[in-house]
């Protein structure tokens, strides 16, 4: 794992790391922690809600002007300082799902990706599977 990447458990004590990478403060309402992120260049905004549940079955929701993305059972996140992004992920046996959010509010969701895809030779993947494999490959390197 590169020096600019690190993994954290998704618990309240670690949310300060998200404040640093997003350069934004969260607001708290009960067990919901909310961030507002705006891309100054494009003027697009997203709202990020993190609901921390007892037992670690946390919920990540992203709201934009025209979409709603949700990742359930998220226990861990990875911060990439170099890319200025966070990968929230959920590991379900042989499948993994990841929600990637950048400091500028860009986001991507890759759901139910077979772990074999992350370990395969990228030269043998079609372009769509290659996107998810590259985006989530850092998870397999932990």
**Segment 57-92, tens digit of pLDDT:** 999 999 998 999 999 999 999 999 888 999 999 998
* pLDDT given for residue 131 in this prediction: 84
* Domain-wise residue ranges, the chain: 5-140
Question: Where residue 137 falls among pLDDT bands split at 50, 70, 90?
Answer: confident
pLDDT at 1 over 80: no
Residue with tokens 């986001």: 107
* pLDDT given for residue 90 in this prediction: 94
CA gap 57, 90 in Å, rounded: 10
């Amino acid at each position: 794992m590169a020096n600019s990447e690190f993994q954290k458990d998704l618990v309240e004590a670690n949310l300060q790391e998200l404040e640093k990478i997003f350069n934004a403060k969260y607001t708290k309402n009960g067990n919901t922690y909310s961030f507002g992120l705006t891309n100054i260049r494009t003027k697009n905004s997203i709202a990020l809600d993190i609901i921390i549940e007892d037992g670690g079955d946390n919920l990540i929701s992203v709201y934009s002007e025209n979409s709603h993305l949700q990742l359930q059972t998220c226990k861990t996140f990875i911060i990439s300082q170099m890319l200025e992004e966070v990968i929230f992920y959920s590991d379900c046996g042989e499948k993994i799902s990841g929600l990637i959010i950048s400091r500028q509010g860009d986001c991507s969701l890759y759901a139910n990706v077979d772990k074999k895809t992350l370990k395969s030779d990228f030269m043998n993947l079609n372009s769509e599977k290659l996107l998810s494999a590259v985006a989530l490959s850092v998870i397999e390197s932990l």
